[in-house]
Structure 1
Amino acid sequence: MLALRSGLRKVLAPWALAPQVPVCSSFATGRRQTEGTFYEFCTYYLKPSKMKEFMKNFKKNVHLRTAHSELVGYWSVELGGRINRVFHIWKYDNFAHRTAVFKALASDPEWHERFLIPNLASIDKQESEIVYLVPWCKMGTPPKEGVYELATFLMKPGGPALWGDPFERAITAHAKQGYTELIGVFHTEYGKLNRVHVLWWCENADSRAAGRHRSHEDPRVVAAVRESVNYLDIQQNMLLIPESFSPLK
């Protein structure tokens, strides 16, 4: 036994005396998010009898909210799951910025009196999700007023290192052919993970349906989608109608 221990010491000695270098391994093998800017996706589930009253009040007082941070878009949900919902996107420079905004709102008596208190009874439920634009996408601008589709993809666990490239190819294939206008692709940071939201613009619901039909017959799109769906668990979408005060129309 002593001889065995002595032999092991001789074998291990060079390793034991060598400088200890940390071993690091990254799962994020693809392009990473480098900017602090993020977006908050907010959904309010409203009582059906209060929908009209809520929207009237928000339109009247939206300036009280946008005085604190940038509103990207504000929509009512037309189709896709539960209706009587409003969906809105807010932009923040970083988490400190968001904290400062909510602190300012909490101490803003005008916001409380004219919006928050009158509308609390209208809201059944609220949901919030923090997302980043994916590194290969910039926020787009619609060519004119229209309608929007928010397509949501719950991908298999593993993150963009696993499914990022195939997903990018599928979205790019659709966008390049002009079947619909790409506004933004967002990856969830806080919320359900491995979830990606794709915001599209189209002139109206019929042009969206026609574009989707053409894309299903395009071999370039079909090939890209077939690769991406190998990593897909669930997909859903919503048809969104922009409100009159929404920056994205």
Structure 2
Amino acid sequence: MLALGSRPTRLLAALTLAPQVWSSFTTGAKQYDETIYEFRTYSLKSSKMNEFLENFKRNVHLRTSHSELVGYWSVEFGGRLNKAFHIWKYDNFAHRAAIRKALGRDTEWQGKFLIPNLPLIDKQESEITHLLSWCKLEKPPKEGIYEMVIFQMKPGGPLLWEEALKKAIHAYASQGYSKLIGVFHTDYGALDRVHVLWWYENADNRAAGRHRSHEDPRVVAAVQESVSYLVSQQNMLLIPTSFSPLK
């Protein structure tokens, strides 16, 4: 029998703990809420965007009878045009799997929307995300526009960069420069990616808020701390569709 603390015993213990250690470095604090948010992006063929959205508008009830639609937008600036972006909410991965299976059996949904629209889609992307533990999904005060800011953070997971990013986001939101809707961390897709969804009354309101924030020493200090963990950033201006729950 091996003595406690012997080299083989220590090696076995290290191998047993390794998956937990590396998982924590990748995902950060334990995800207590199993709720997942799927980000789906459809790149439509040129001149087919309106046809696609009108078809979805007519048949959206067939899809939302299966699971909750959080929001549906078209990309106005900051990315490829003719792009539709939408967020779906699921209780957990088992719930999503059950919904996808049910959609596969839903002949009305397939016949009225899926099959007619497949020729209009050039590319489809999907990411699975969680809300960061200190954030909940908010509602806008009224109709407006949205900005999705995508931060690609340094490898290491939330344990490395979450606190600094949280301070920067809270500094901006707490001063009223924008309305924070949600902060999402990618679980499947590009890792160490954070999506921050903001609401504004209009594009000029957004521009004015950013200008004021650049002169706010509290925001500047918080941002300077967080950017040391930043690899890249992309901003997209999103216009909610008429059938989007978030408007």
- TM-score (normalised: structure 2): 0.91
In structure 2, give the amino acid aligned to 1:95. F
Q: Is 1:164 matched up with 2:162?
A: yes
User: Which of the residues 131, 134, 149 maps onto 2:132?
Assistant: 134
Residue number in structure 2 paired with 1:230: 228
Residue number in structure 1 paired with 2:85: 87
Residue number in structure 2 paired with 1:151: 149
In structure 2, give the amino acid aligned to 1:150. M
Distance across 2 between alignment mates of 1:37 and 1:125: 26
Give the superposed CA RMSD.
1.8
Distance across 1 between alignment mates of 2:5 and 2:186: 43
Q: CA deviation at 1:35?
A: 1.1
Query: Do the aligned partners of residues 158 and 61 (structure 1) sit closer, same or farther apart at CA in structure 2, a change above 3 Å counting?
Result: same
* CA offsets 1:186-207 (integer angstroms, 9 cap, x no match): 0000000000000000000000
In structure 2, give the amino acid aligned to 1:176. S
Q: CA deviation at 1:48?
A: 1.9
Residue number in structure 1 paired with 2:36: 38
| Secondary structure of the corresponding residue to residue 47 of structure 2 | helix
Q: CA deviation at 1:161?
A: 1.0
In structure 2, give the amino acid aligned to 1:151. V
Residue number in structure 2 paired with 1:119: 117
| Secondary structure of the corresponding residue to residue 142 of structure 2 | coil
Distance across 1 between alignment mates of 2:102 and 2:70: 20
Residue number in structure 1 paired with 2:174: 176
Residue number in structure 1 paired with 2:197: 199
Residue number in structure 1 paired with 2:74: 76
Query: Do the aligned partners of residues 217 and 114 (structure 1) sit closer, same or farther apart at CA in structure 2, a change above 3 Å counting?
Result: same
Distance across 1 between alignment mates of 2:129 and 2:181: 14
* CA offsets 1:48-102 (integer angstroms, 9 cap, x no match): 2211111110000000000100000000000012110000000000111111111
Distance across 1 between alignment mates of 2:64 and 2:107: 15
In the alignment, structure 2 segments of 5+ residues that lack a partner are: none
Residue number in structure 2 paired with 1:8: none
User: Which of the residues 209, 213, 218 maps onto 2:216?
Assistant: 218
Question: How many residue pairs were aligned?
Answer: 236
In structure 2, give the amino acid aligned to 1:185. V
Q: CA deviation at 1:22?
A: 4.1
In the alignment, structure 1 segments of 5+ residues that lack a partner are: 1-11
In structure 1, give the amino acid aligned to 2:206. R
Distance across 2 between alignment mates of 1:233 and 1:226: 14
| Secondary structure of the corresponding residue to residue 237 of structure 1 | strand
* CA offsets 1:108-147 (integer angstroms, 9 cap, x no match): 1101110011101110000000000000100111000000
In structure 2, give the amino acid aligned to 1:238. M
- TM-score (normalised: structure 1): 0.90
Query: Do the aligned partners of residues 15 and 187 (structure 1) sit closer, same or farther apart at CA in structure 2, a change above 3 Å counting?
Result: closer
Residue number in structure 2 paired with 1:7: none
* CA offsets 1:201-223 (integer angstroms, 9 cap, x no match): 00000000000111111000000
Residue number in structure 1 paired with 2:102: 104
In structure 1, give the amino acid aligned to 2:124. Q
Distance across 1 between alignment mates of 2:161 and 2:211: 25
Query: Do the aligned partners of residues 13 and 192 (structure 1) sit closer, same or farther apart at CA in structure 2, a change above 3 Å counting?
Result: closer
| Secondary structure of the corresponding residue to residue 134 of structure 2 | coil
| Secondary structure of the corresponding residue to residue 127 of structure 1 | strand
Distance across 1 between alignment mates of 2:112 and 2:126: 22
Q: CA deviation at 1:31?
A: 3.7
